[in-house]
Amino acid sequence: MKYSRFLAYTLICLITISCSVKRPVTNSVLASDGKLWAALWQQRAAEYKALCFQAYNIARLRLDQDLQTDMPARRAIITDIDETILDNSPNAVHQALQGREFEPDSWYKWTAKADCDTLAGALSFFRYAASKGVTVFYITNRDEQEREATLKNLRRFGFPDADNEHLLLKQTVSDKEDRRLEVLKSHRIVLLLGDNLSDFSKLFNKLPEDERMKITRQQSGNFGSKFIVLPNSTYGDWENAIFQYNYKINPAQKEEIIKKSLRDE
Ligand SMILES: [Mg+2]
């Protein structure tokens, strides 16, 4: 009798403790598992590396074509950083293994390590461009608190123009157009490289899904020509557009939208 009372008491205590423990808000299982799968592809698929090489080979081809013209000099290349020249998939894995998606605090801790690897083909392309007198501008939506670590990470590999003058971080808005226009004041932009359509033109900024598709079709001639696209299946505006740029969407709604968005057989 005493023993069963003790068991009941223990059970009540355990239930009370478990209810009072503050659990993290879990994110959508579909979304976080999806990010794990995407990161697996980014880290382990030779096909991913091949696509990066392909993008940078095309970039070199286009640059060589431009170098043969007598268009005004002061050539510049504008490039994004994350998932364009640096690989952040370890942060996506870190989050997904805890059932979490992107979180700013975790991201800042990750970028502060200056430990991102570089994408296949990126370094040799930018070094080649620099050897031909082309200036590189890094236009990224990393912010001021990430400046030092970002430069450290770029310098670790020996990326050209990795200095304050050529690193244009996000100040107040994520729209990159003003920063592109700033570069245009002094340089002719030969190429733009990015993994997100808004890395190329303001035409793509924060559009609904169907509009993104429409503008992409209209701009098809620029891809592989002036715009060099790197693959990113982990995150980007493609994902934000699906959730209608609602960053406070709850996990259940997210799961529902993901299921509704997919074409089944
Ligand atoms: Mg990016």
Three-state SS string across 84-143, please?
Answer: CCEECHHHHHHHHCCCCCCCHHHHHHHHHCCCCEECCCHHHHHHHHHHCCCEEEEEEEEE
Give residue 191 CA to ligand 1 midpoint distance, Å: 16
Please determine, for residue 22, whether its predicted confidence score (pLDDT) is greater than 80.
no
Q: Is residue 22 part of a domain?
A: no
Q: What is the pLDDT of residue 26?
A: 55
Domain assignment of residue 199, yes or no: yes
CA distances from 149 to 100, 112, 121 (A): 24, 5, 22
In a domain, 38, yes or no: yes
CA torsion 166-167-170-175 (nearest 10°) is 50
Helix axes 29-44, 89-96, angle to 10 degrees: 140
> Tens digit of pLDDT for each residue in 191-223?
999 999 999 999 999 999 999 999 999 999 999
Among candidates 83, 1, 8, which has minimal Cα distance to 38? 83
CA of 148 to the centre of ligand 1 (A): 18
Asked if residue 136 lies in contact with residue 76, where contact means CB atoms within 8 angstroms, the answer is yes
Cβ atoms of 146 and 112 closer than 8 Å: yes
Instruction: State yes or no: pLDDT of 82 exceeds 90.
Output: yes
- How many domains, the chain? 1
Q: How many Cα atoms within 13 Å fall on the side-chain side of residue 180?
A: 19
- Is residue 141 domain-resident? yes
Residue 92 structure tokens: 């996506």
- 126 and 166 in contact (C-beta within 8 Å)? no
Q: Is the pLDDT of residue 142 over 90?
A: yes
Compute the distance from residue 230 Cα to the ligand 1 centre, in Å. Answer: 9
- Judge whether 6 lies within some domain: no
Contact indicator for 64, 134 with CB cutoff of 8 Å: no
10 lies in some domain: no
153 and 114 in contact (C-beta within 8 Å)? yes
d(CA 140, CA 120): 19
Q: What is the CATH number of the domain that holds 229?
A: 3.40.50.1000
Q: How far apart are the first and last CA of the chain?
A: 60
84 CA → ligand 1 middle, Å: 6
- CA 14, CA 11: separation in Å to the nearest integer? 5
In a domain, 46, yes or no: yes
Å from CA of 185 to ligand 1 middle:
24
Percent of the chain past pLDDT 90, that is, above it, reads 83
106 is a domain residue:
yes
Range of the domain at 189: 27-260
Q: How far does the centroid of ligand 1 lie from the alpha carbon of residue 170, in Å? A: 12
Give 102-138 pLDDT, tens digit per residue: 999 999 999 999 999 999 999 999 999 999 999 999 9
